[in-house]
Amino acid sequence: MGCCNHNYGFIWFICLVFMEHTVIVHSGSDNKHRIHGPLVNVTKHLSFPDFSFSNNPRVLEDVKLLGSAKFSASSAIQIPDDHDPPHGNGNDIDHLRHQAGRALYSSPIRLLDPHTQSPASFQTTFSFQFHNASSSSSSSSSSNFSANSSDHGGSGLTFIIVPDEFTIGRPGPWLGMLNDACQDDYKAIAVEFDTRLNPEFGDPNDNHVGINLGTIVSTKTINASDVGVFLDDGSVHRAWIGYDGSRRWMEIHLGSDGGSKDSPPSKPIFSGPLDLSPFLNEYMFVGFSASTGNHTQIHSVLSWNFSSTSRAFLWMPSVETCESNIIVHGRAGTTSAEPPGTFLIFVAVLVLVLAVVLSLYYNSGRKSTEISDTSIVLPEKKQRPRPPNKPRCFTISELSLATLSFSEYEFLGSGSRGVYYRGKLLNGCQVAVKRFSFQFLHSQGFDRRRKKPWLCMSFSPMGALTNGYLGWVFFRGLGGSRL
């Protein structure tokens, strides 16, 4: 039985290999018609001098707003949305607290080569402004929040690179970048411009720039006052962020938006190695996020330019594909260059079925003709009717049925001449069956070459194996024994 299973397993293995080869050939038939072309630069360029509907009618389609964000009357992206407060109280600014929003370019941009894990190079520049919302009333207890007030606003703005356009981050110190639901596995890159001191997040002060890689805790922080910039002073600032993907190198410049917008300050506030590839998918979304906490602050992005360059191989069609596409199929004299995939799969299944059938036929034929080295199974022969109470011959099938196919559970013992089995006939009679060994038959004159076997099965009632009058009976040419 083990040999048979081994044969079947080998046949199944051969057939599966053939079918797999067939599928690979079929699936690869399309790829072989495409070859690697030259390396090319894949570029993307965005330009928003402002966010005016009149200057750019597609701004609503190009920029997607999430959460508390809007296009302001001054043609800027504004976070949070300072819409009318509840109950029509125009002096109430509480509705601006604990708000978060995003503004993303609506289409993903290729920023990583998945085959080489090489990040793209990109450059972005944008002008932005922070100013505090004010509250005034006829009450003497009213207060005004300004840039110079000791109770100034917060929290800050980020330039973000994120994997989707559906997530809104948490307000407050999270800056709309991350939230609890995606903190662990959410790939996000941000350059933050933070105006709120949160020591629990590693902030050095309330006027800093930070680089965040997958976490709200900055990998690198820079004091903006070191370059004479105060983010919440109400003036318009400009940031330049450049990344060289081949060198894994980032530079950040920060200054006033007064001079040429194409010329950053000569000295960067940050310049150093930075590998962004672990935090990038092949396609990412770029844009801005901002938030407020206990204190209010309006974040405005007035203009934005972005460009990226990534490397990719062109897929070029082969000459054979181009020629085959111009041949009119189905006419006389034309034949299909390749059999369809379904036909190849059908052939593989047919071969599998034929192999199984042939294996079954071969094994069944071998079992019916094979002579064992330890025992002999004699051919069955139709027996003549016998008078009652007379010895009769039993067929091999009857013996096999009585002993459960000579099961080891029916084994009684063995001797030099054969093996004893317990059996139960169809009439309920308990018997013992002796199966003679080949060596004993050979000593009795068994002629294997002439295939004239002696009887190899004998019976006696259970419990009578030691009785002298129940000798084992031999006779030539029958497929059973007498009892």
- Ordered by start, the domain boundaries in the chain are 1-32+331-370, 34-85+94-134+146-316, 375-483
Phi-psi region of 345 (alpha: psi -120 to 50; beta: other; left: phi over 0): alpha
Report the percentage of the chain scoring pLDDT > 90. Answer: 36
How many residues are listed for the chain in this entry? Answer: 483
Most confident of 10-14, 181-185, 320-324: 181-185
What 3-state DSSP class applies to 222?
strand
Decide if 248 contacts 273 (C-beta within 8 A). Answer: yes
Q: Give residue 430's pLDDT.
A: 83
Determine the Cα–Cα distance for residues 477 and 337; give it in Å rounded to an integer. 65
Determine the Cα–Cα distance for residues 195 and 172; give it in Å rounded to an integer. 11
What is the torsional sign of CA 83, 88, 89, 94?
negative
Phi/psi for 432 (5° steps) reads -115, 140
Better pLDDT: 454 or 85? 85
Give the residues across from 311 on adjacent strands. 41
pLDDT of 211 > 90? The answer is: yes
What 3-state DSSP class applies to 405?
coil
Confidence band for 134, pLDDT divided at 50, 70 and 90: low
Q: Give residue 427's pLDDT.
A: 77
Task: Look over the chain and give the mean of its residue pLDDT values, rounded to a whole number.
Answer: 76
What 3-state DSSP class applies to 360?
helix
Q: In the chain, count H helices and then E strands.
A: 6, 22
Q: In what order do the strands lie in the sheet with 457-461?
A: 411-414, 418-424, 430-436, 457-461
Going from the C-alpha of 261 to that of each of 50, 192, 370, the distances in angstroms are 13, 20, 95
What 3-state DSSP class applies to 88?
helix
Q: Give residue 136's pLDDT.
A: 36
Angle among Cα 373, 377, 380 to the nearest 5 degrees reads: 160
Q: Give residue 466's pLDDT.
A: 44
Nearest to 175 by CA among 145, 155, 148: 155
Better pLDDT: 326 or 197? 197
What is the 3-state secondary structure of 235-291? CEEEEEEEEECCCCEEEEEEEECCCCCCCCCCCCCEEEECCCHHHCCCEEEEEEEEE
Better pLDDT: 69 or 154? 69
Q: Give residue 339's pLDDT.
A: 56
- Specify the pairing of strand 155-162 against strand 283-292: antiparallel
Give the residues across from 121 on adjacent strands. 309
Better pLDDT: 473 or 110? 110
Determine the Cα–Cα distance for residues 250 and 241; give it in Å rounded to an integer. 7
Report how far Cα 477 is from the mean position of its chain's Cα atoms: 69
Instruction: Give DSSP secondary structure letters for 7-73.
Output: HHHHHHHHHHHHHHHHHHHHHHHHHTTEEEEEEEEEEEEEEES---TTT-TTHHHHEEEEES-EE-T
- Kindly give the residue spans of alpha helices, DSSP state H, lying in 293-376: 319-325, 341-369
Fold annotation for 375-483: Phosphorylase Kinase; domain 1 (3.30.200)
Segment 47-59 mean pLDDT? 93
What 3-state DSSP class applies to 213?
strand
Decide if 83 contacts 118 (C-beta within 8 A). Answer: no
pLDDT of 477 > 90? The answer is: no
**What dihedral do alpha carbons 413, 414, 419, 421 form, nearest 10°?**
-10
Q: Give residue 73's pLDDT.
A: 93
pLDDT, tens digit, 9 for 90 and up, residues 62-81: 999 999 999 999 999 999 98
Instruction: List, in order, residues 6 or more apart from 459 with CB less than 8 Å away.
Output: 394, 423, 431, 432, 433, 434, 481, 482, 483
CATH number of 34-85+94-134+146-316: 2.60.120.200
Q: Give residue 27's pLDDT.
A: 47
Going from the C-alpha of 4 to that of each of 82, 351, 354, the distances in angstroms are 81, 19, 17
pLDDT of 308 > 60? The answer is: yes
Whether this model's pTM surpasses 0.85: no
pLDDT of 333 > 70? The answer is: no
Segment 409-428 mean pLDDT? 80
Segment 42-71 mean pLDDT? 94
Out of 340-344, 360-364, 374-378, 429-433, least confident range: 374-378
Confidence band for 89, pLDDT divided at 50, 70 and 90: low
Determine the Cα–Cα distance for residues 82 and 72; give it in Å rounded to an integer. 9
Segment 443-447 mean pLDDT? 50
